Structure 1
Amino acid sequence: MPDSFRSAAALLVDCLAEQGATRIFTVPGESFLAVLDALPDRPEIDVVTCRQEGGAAFMACADGAMNAAGSGRPGIAFVTRGPGATNAAIGVHVAHQDSQPMILFVGDVARTAQGREGFQEVDFTAFFAPVCKWAARIDDPLRIPEYIARAHATAINGRPGPVVLALPEDMLVEQVPASLAPRPFVTRTAQAACPDAMQALLGLIADAASPIAIIGGAGWNAKAREYFQQFAERIGLPVATAFRRQDAIAPASPVYAGNLGYGPNPKLVERVRQADLVIAVGARLGEATTDGYAVPTLEHPGQTLVHIHPDPEELGRVYRTDLALCCSVDEFAEAAALWEDTDIIPFDAGAQAHAEWLEWSTPQPSEAGIDLGACVAAMRESLPADTIICNGAGNFAGWWHRYWRYEAYPGQLAPTCGAMGYGVPAAVAAALRYPERTVVAVAGDGDFLMNGQELATAAQYGASLIVVVVDNGAYGTIRMHQEREYPGRVSATALANPDFAALGAAYGAWSARVETTGEFIAALDEARGRTGLRLIHALTDLERIAASGATISGLRARAKPAG
């Protein structure tokens, strides 16, 4: 009896459902119409139509980041070829540098047109290869189950990251036997820490005078958070979080020392510099976390590095590594917390570092019209502890990094690679994934206008979120660097902005324009009592350009020659 048939696109969608996909983000394109036609037959997969492929890819990246905290499934996006794929590349790059699981499907030209520079044709395997874990094209529809299973395994295992699969449009409409089944559900391969290496690590800690841990990154999840915090608190180990990994440990933990990255507590930086033992767990020790590879200072013999990471290629890649453990960070954390044979005498340094962080993260009064430190403090008082804070790139984010307490996990969605425009799409994804939680997108004026159009997506799907637009009329981070390197010579950093409150209202948001701290707090109280889209347009003074205390006049004064 002859087999019945279905389209390759229907098989692909069935494979995604088998792998636990519950949501995809897309900007539709004619190159994958067959997939769009197949999706209604799998109602367990929500389809979120976005307004620009960069926004869709950011949403998928954020969704993968949230899933990594629990289910571990990658975020998924579908875009069309050429402009669609190149727009989406920013989300792939963020997922790669942030070590977040994601799969981007790109509708491609027909196989008969490949290599002819057909309409919107790009060699996607070559284009995406440098910024993803695996890029491939599915030319044979019979191999779809293989490719989909491998894509999931690649995205979630080792150092998580993005996968890109190109889908020729003629391949998607081919008929395949209905008996061709998806491969079974792929799970993350959990690798335990080597017992001998664990024993060596505990010996190093026991012999150390001033150890510190730097945590957060590849494979970090709720299990890693719980067990590593138990271990660190038991021995009084100071714990710093890597750049934009501030939810990796509860801020109320008595050993939490604060975050590294841009604008950190100088006392924390000095503590890392003076540490005789640095234990990095999950963190890549990238440029932002290490202040340009300057801290830790591992080139001198007085500092020992232990690096725990799930990807062997990261171990010893940048820094000299004295003890490397290639294992899942949650398995390591559990082993450390449950290890009984230890001669470690608890340290006082954890409590000291935490006290320094508490002082650093407590806002001091300011005469600024809008005191952002006080605004963040007001948010801490009025919003739930499990609020998710989402931001893109810019100096504005430093106020939340310094003063917000990232109590929940996941509670921080922010690109470690410093991509602008991430905050609003991430907040849309978070509001859809966690509709019961409060979600806040924090955006600078330049940052917001890169993907603010995704508020239309939020409105379309009934997402409930608060947007705070910090408007200082400039690309503030670049202006800060400009004033430091070329003081007083302002070029290309000034912005002429729209009325963001009116723009928010055009998307259907309740909105308010505020110019003082009191007005901000009043608007926040009003927003908190509402649901749906809410936008607060906060006009701030460019003079106070960073949460670290840097000012335009101060930068110019320091740059003047002595005499």
Structure 2
Amino acid sequence: MTRTASRLLVDCLVEQGCDRVFTVPGESFLPVLDSLADCGAIDTVTCRQEGGVAFMACADGAMTGKPGVAFVTRGPGATNASIGVHVAMQDSQPMILFVGDVDRGMRDREGFQEVDFPAFFAPLAKWAAKIDDASRIPEYVARAWSTAISGRPGPVVLALPEDMLHEVDIASPVRPAVTRPAQAPCPDAMGTMMRMIADAAAPLAIVGGAGWHERSRHYFTEFAERIGLPVATAFRRQDALPPSSSVYAGNLGYGPNPKLVERVKQADLLLVVGARLGEATTDGYSLITPDHPDQSLIHVHPDPVELDSVYRTDLALCADMAEFAESAALWDTDDIIPFDAGPQAHDEWLAWNTPREEPQFDLDLALAMQSARRLLPDDAIICNGAGNYAGWWHRYWPYAGFPSQLAPTAGAMGYGVPAAVAAARRFPDRCVVAAAGDGCFLMNGQELATAAQYNLDLLVILFDNSTYGTIRMHQEREYPGREASTHLANPDFALMAQSYGGWGKRVATNAEFDAALEEAVAKTGIRLIHCITDIEQLSASGVTVSGLRAK
């Protein structure tokens, strides 16, 4: 069968299981757009900025376990999209970014918007390449799909020379769909792991990360509950374990429960499953040091490259997360005397997770979270970017469903709204919330236009303290009383939502917030609550400007 190069590319994506692509159209890949228009199997979502496109693809990959797919044009399009590639890499999420490129005959002349994309993306992606030969499109697409989902999942970038896409009569057959290799754990290593746990006095598990999904969550919860093993989740992986589990101990990262921090320090055995033990999870590699003296480390990860790369490992297991979790759940654990620590750690988390009753500010964000827990379903998908505002969600929201947390571990601002668009498109029957700060929202808030175009239901809860709050907090620590470059002059965000055809309300007290949230949940479409907050509320851990200055 002969076909055009662009049609072959689209057919290859369909064969691999791609059902949605995100794009800002560009003239460099017009043939692909034309082929997608005739493809009923792929939903093409047109967006407003390539950074939003890449964030949506990254979030889609996080939700499905399949590569999220994006198409952007060369030069500015690709460089805008690079932020999403970086997030997908640091978050270990499968993604493929296709970039329309200059004609092959124009290369190396610094043509219009020309960039050496394999060189540019090499430090950001698992693999970056250029398809020069149309007959090899099936080979490249299959390899890209396999690379994105295998081992530690991550992003792949493929450049598409414009003239190559126009070629006709390409006879290459479509390659069959590839699947993620599901490596089972070594039985001898599993036996060693169980003996190490049985011999431990204070073990602790840290879970969530590369290749983690609902099956992993189910079986590991079953295993941990059976032996009373306390389980913490890695930074922004809070849906990796049901918060209702009797052994759920809370989350690590920025502003964790001090009792959980102490529990990590006192642990004599750490079982780390899926997590990389990155900077945020380990508080700058200080809570758990790379050599972790007086602690044994069992590290389970799907990619052998990750094991022993940063942390000295006492027992390394390279295995698929679900295969490992199921093996652990089915293992005979009669030799392990159940620990009391799991339920104790869960009680400590419940106390930390419960908002206080008395307000300390006109719009107290802890009490606002209490109202959100009362009025929103506990399996709502919460999408946020970077900023101290996210700390209230991380501390007080239950993240009961899976997936229910879309948040970049790379700390990228502007992720929340695009991720919410992707979530609302993927799960139209679930409640989707874009949690935002004023600074974070305006980095990709224009993607509300995408939500409006596709009639999506999503709720934006925006905390506005007219400041880049996280930077202001660090600024007050380092230069007390010398605010510089962190103040923001903001628009009326509620009116902005209304301009997109949505509903918006501006609130400044908890009573107004509660009334607005009750009104919002009764509506559909775009809804935005613009929350005017006090700069004194710098973090969910109680850090204030005046407190920092007093120090």
Length-normalised TM-score, structure 1: 0.97
Alignment of 1:248 onto 2:240 = yes
Q: Could you tell me which residue of structure 2 aligns to residue 233 of structure 1?
A: 225
Instruction: String of CA shifts for 1:245-267, please: whole Å, max 9, x gaps.
Output: 00000000000000000000011
Structure 1 residue 501 displacement after superposition: 0.7
Structure 1 residue 549 displacement after superposition: 0.6
Alignment of 1:345 onto 2:337 = yes
Q: Could you tell me which residue of structure 2 aligns to residue 22 of structure 1?
A: 19
Q: Secondary structure at the match of 1:60?
A: helix
CA contact (8 A) 1:208 1:276 kept: yes
Structure 1 residue 298 displacement after superposition: 5.6
Q: Secondary structure at the match of 1:176?
A: coil
Residue of structure 2 aligned with 1:54, choices 51, 55, 62: 51
* Alpha-carbon distance between aligned partners in 2 of 1:6 and 1:173, rounded to the nearest angstrom: 11
CA contact (8 A) 1:464 1:533 kept: yes
* Alpha-carbon distance between aligned partners in 2 of 1:366 and 1:477, rounded to the nearest angstrom: 22
* Alpha-carbon distance between aligned partners in 2 of 1:298 and 1:102, rounded to the nearest angstrom: 29
Alignment of 1:63 onto 2:60 = yes
Instruction: String of CA shifts for 1:144-186, please: whole Å, max 9, x gaps.
Output: 0000000000000100000000000000001133x42210011
Structure 1 residue 385 displacement after superposition: 2.2
Q: Could you tell me which residue of structure 2 aligns to residue 264 of structure 1?
A: 256
Instruction: String of CA shifts for 1:210-269, please: whole Å, max 9, x gaps.
Output: 000000000000000000000000000000000000000000000000000000001101
Q: Secondary structure at the match of 1:130?
A: coil
* Alpha-carbon distance between aligned partners in 1 of 2:503 and 2:120, rounded to the nearest angstrom: 41
Structure 1 residue 209 displacement after superposition: 0.3
Q: Could you tell me which residue of structure 1 aligns to residue 184 of structure 2?
A: 192
Q: Could you tell me which residue of structure 2 aligns to residue 167 of structure 1?
A: 160
CA contact (8 A) 1:108 1:169 kept: yes
Match runs of 1:3-402 below 5 Å: 5-68=2-65, 73-177=66-170, 179-297=171-289, 299=291, 301-340=293-332, 342-364=334-356, 365-402=358-395
Give the paired residue count. Answer: 550
**Percentage of matched positions with identical amino acids:** 70
Structure 1 residue 300 displacement after superposition: 5.2
Runs of 4+ in 1 over 6 A off after TM superposition: none
Q: Could you tell me which residue of structure 2 aligns to residue 509 of structure 1?
A: 502
Alignment of 1:447 onto 2:445 = no
Alpha-carbon distance change, 516 to 74 in structure 1, aligned in 2, over 3 angstroms:
same
CA contact (8 A) 2:537 2:544 kept: yes
Structure 1 residue 382 displacement after superposition: 1.2
Gaps of 5+ in 1: 559-563
* Alpha-carbon distance between aligned partners in 2 of 1:160 and 1:526, rounded to the nearest angstrom: 40
Instruction: String of CA shifts for 1:116-161, please: whole Å, max 9, x gaps.
Output: 1110000000000101100000000000000000000000010000
Structure 1 residue 5 displacement after superposition: 3.5
Residue of structure 2 aligned with 1:531, choices 508, 524, 532: 524
CA contact (8 A) 2:6 2:32 kept: yes
Structure 1 residue 367 displacement after superposition: 2.1
* Alpha-carbon distance between aligned partners in 2 of 1:482 and 1:255, rounded to the nearest angstrom: 38
Q: Could you tell me which residue of structure 1 aligns to residue 398 of structure 2?
A: 405
| CA root-mean-square deviation | 0.9
Alpha-carbon distance change, 459 to 300 in structure 1, aligned in 2, over 3 angstroms:
closer
In the alignment, residue 181 of structure 2 is paired with which amino acid?
T
Structure 1 residue 398 displacement after superposition: 0.2
Structure 1 residue 553 displacement after superposition: 0.6
Residue of structure 2 aligned with 1:470, choices 435, 447, 463: 463
Structure 1 residue 341 displacement after superposition: 5.2
In the alignment, residue 339 of structure 2 is paired with which amino acid?
F
CA contact (8 A) 2:194 2:333 kept: no
Q: Could you tell me which residue of structure 1 aligns to residue 427 of structure 2?
A: 434
Length-normalised TM-score, structure 2: 0.99
- Between 347-356 and 370-379, report the one with greater CA deviation: 370-379
Instruction: String of CA shifts for 1:43-64, please: whole Å, max 9, x gaps.
Output: 1101100000000000000000
